[in-house]
Structure 1
């Protein structure tokens, strides 16, 4: 059997080492270790990286859609609030877990935990 792609495994919320175990123990809480291969996730820290990408992706997508809607249809402000606030929340929450998984998998691929000296 071939090695799994760590980025695709992280995107799916799976262990970047084996591709089978769960990466998360809840919505965003990282599991202490993989239950299949035993890989330790204790040093995994995605920091603010996923939040930055979510802000950029959701902000561009929803902002662009809101501007197009404003310039073509000219709806009242309450229509913008009803459309774009829930969409922003849905897009942000929908991207949060996959992007955090990708960031953790990128750390695994680049062996970032081995470079840390703060233990």
Structure 2
């Protein structure tokens, strides 16, 4: 049996539940245990189902995705800010700078959780197909 078929049989044919659990900062397998032990530090294992989370290799991927999204949001809001605040470049820079920092810090954990969940679902970087049941999301 191929590895892809084993993964599909284990997790179902949709990765959406695992990604949603990751975005909620929960274990991608059971959805109950916490994925992070601190702000961006992935816990060594799930406290509920015991899933080993040490094989994850999210690295810089989440930061790239967050930068891509936040830069587009800030870039598209620039003309709106000029309409609202007029010709005050310092004020616009402060407002948009603060918004970009807040958005980036808020988006990093859910995006990293989704990266770890994707790696688990696909069996990447040492995550293996397991016989444990998967919770419904």
Structure 2 runs not aligned, ≥5 long: 1-11, 128-137
Partner SS state of residue 14, structure 1: coil
1:35 maps to 47
1:80-106: per-residue Cα shift (whole Å, max 9, x none)?
122111100010001000000000000
The structure 1 segments of at least 4 consecutive aligned residues displaced by more than 2 Å after TM superposition are 67-70, 72-75
- Residue 87 of structure 1 is matched in structure 2 by 99
- Runs of 5+ in structure 1 lacking a partner? none
Q: How many residues align?
A: 112
User: What does residue range 12-31 of structure 1 map to in structure 2 within 5 Å?
Assistant: 12-31=24-43
Give 2:64's aligned residue.
Answer: 52
Q: Which is further off, 41-50 or 72-81?
A: 72-81
TM-score (norm 2): 0.76
Displacement, 1:64? 1.1
| Larger RCO (CA under 8 A, 6+ residues apart) | 2
Question: Per-residue deviation at 1:113?
Answer: 2.5
